[in-house]
Amino acid sequence: MVVEMEHMAMAIGVSVPVLRFLLCFVATLPVSLLCRVVPGGAPPKHLFAAASGAFLSYLSFGVSSNLHFLIPMLLGYASMALYRRRCGIITFFLGFAYLIGCHVYYMSGDAWKEGGIDATGALMVLVLKIWARSEKVRSPSPYGATIRALVQAAFCMGLHLYLVPQYPLSQFTETVYHEWGFWRRLGYQYMSGLTARWKYYFVWSISEAAVIISGLGFSGWTDSSPPKPRWDRAKNVDILGVEFAKTAAQIPLAWNIQVSTWLRNYVYERLIQKGMKPGFFQLLATQTVSAVWHGLYPGYIIFFVQSALMIAGSRVIYRWQQAIPPNMDLMKKVLVFLNFACTVLVLNYSCVGFMVLSLHETLVAYGSVYYIGTIVPIVFILLGHVIKPARPSRSKARKEQ
């Protein structure tokens, strides 16, 4: 076997140790594939990864490599267990101190020139991974953020319980509702949508508190001075971001954030053809997937089709807004307000379908305000094909963003 490896090494112009390393390196591909099919959940997968990694390291660098790997691992996890608050900086200094010691002892550069190889290259990566892990563990106290989320949840539920009796959904099919004037009916639709949203705000606030208290919600620190902890991994809704969205395109960034992110990554962006810009088709297809995911009620389908129209119409106004020169600031403010007003109008009109679900009740509610929330975005979409302002330069657009 050794003779065969020598011949193979000579044939490709490398040393036997380097050839052995290359073979083990290539072997990580099938080993990684096997890791995907290991049954039993995370613990068996972790055990398989540790065993296969130790075996490949042994074949590549010898038994001493695994001993070298164990030391920074033990130091890092010990610091996480014993002094969590400073485990990041402790792991950094201890890990790099050991790595520097190995560099000095092995002087790997000289060995590589002679065709040798050792474990310091793998150790370099391992030290960074352990350090990164310890920095993630070194999260701030979750209790303050948890309490804030719980207070928010209590407020949302209290407001929802207060508003629900005053704005029942059954009113849309009542005779008295249709006797009201147009503006009162439109205002009732707004209040019905607002009332329903507080229920979801409550649910997501509770789930946010649960994720934060579990220790899984921390996502880093702000750039402010002093820095403050961010809990973005737990966040699924930005209440003010929804209620005061300047454009409809901002709503998916603030409402059901985790699902919206999934839809963007796995549906919307994958429908964009190479070299092409996304258009209404990608938007409509994404919203249709979201509708089917929610359920097969007609109200869901209608709402998400409406939301596609809402976003597309809002984008037209935004393009006009971006094309306004700096010396016409008042006109720009008018378009900003117009976009905000249209977003509020179409959102609360559309969400009636999401709430009542049935086709009949949805059409009755929409018809009571003359389908204004459907007509308005369609008008802007059509106008967008007629009034096509010059696009601002990329540097200017980035500056305004």
pLDDT tens, residue by residue, 58-78: 988 888 888 889 999 999 989
At 241 the pLDDT is 96
Q: How many CB atoms lie within 10 A of CB 79?
A: 24
Higher pLDDT, 383 or 60: 383
Query: What pLDDT sits at residue 278?
Result: 86
State the Cα angle at 180 between 175 and 182, rounded to 5°: 125
The residues near 282 (Cβ < 8 Å, ≥ 6 apart) are 268, 271, 272
Q: What is the pLDDT of residue 397?
A: 47
Residue 395 is predicted with a pLDDT of: 47
**Is the pLDDT reported for residue 138 higher than 70?**
no
Determine the pLDDT at residue 10: 79
- 312 pLDDT tier (thresholds 50, 70, 90): very high
pLDDT above 90: percentage of residues in the chain: 50
Residue 115's pLDDT band, with cuts at 50, 70 and 90, is: low
What is the structure's pLDDT at 1?
53
Residue 201 is predicted with a pLDDT of 96
Strand extents, DSSP E, 267-339: none
Identity of residue 209: A
Mean pLDDT of 334-338: 96
Mean pLDDT of 88-104: 88
Interval 353-364: pLDDT, tens = 999 999 999 999
Residue 398 reports pLDDT greater than 50: no
Segment 130-139 shows an average pLDDT of 75
Percent of the chain with pLDDT over 70: 93
d(CA 10, CA 5): 8
Q: Which range, 122-131, 233-242, 264-273, 333-342, is most confident?
A: 333-342
**Pairwise pLDDT comparison (122 vs 301), residue with the higher score:** 301
pLDDT of 391 over the 80 cut: no
pLDDT at 2: 55
Rounded average pLDDT over 172-188: 95
**319 pLDDT band (50/70/90 cuts)?**
very high
- The whole-number average pLDDT for the span 189-208 is 94
Alpha-carbon distances, residue 24 vs 18, 21, 122 (angstroms)? 10, 5, 13
- Give CA 220 to chain center in angstroms: 14
pLDDT for 338? 97
By CB atoms closer than 10 A (0-12, 13-18, 19+), residue 236 is buried
For residues 339-365, b (16+ Cβ closer than 10 Å) or e, as one string? bbebbbbbbbbbbbbbbbbeeebbbbb
Which amino acids are annotated catalytic? Answer: 294
Query: Mean of the pLDDT values across residues 184-205?
Result: 95
pLDDT of residue 399: 44
Rounded to whole angstroms, how far apart are CA atoms 347 and 364?
17
Band (348; pLDDT cuts 50, 70, 90)? very high
For residue 274, what pLDDT band results from cuts at 50, 70 and 90? confident
Question: Could you tell me if residue 41 is left (phi over 0), alpha (psi between -120 and 50 degrees) or otherwise beta?
Answer: left
The predicted-structure confidence for 12-45, as pLDDT tens digits, reads as follows 777 888 888 888 888 888 988 898 889 988 899 9
Length of the chain: 401
Q: Which of 34, 65, 71, 64 is nearest to 52 (CA)?
A: 34
Say what the pLDDT of residue 215 is.
Answer: 73
Q: Which residues contact 354 (CB under 8 A, 6 or more apart)?
A: 196, 299, 300, 303
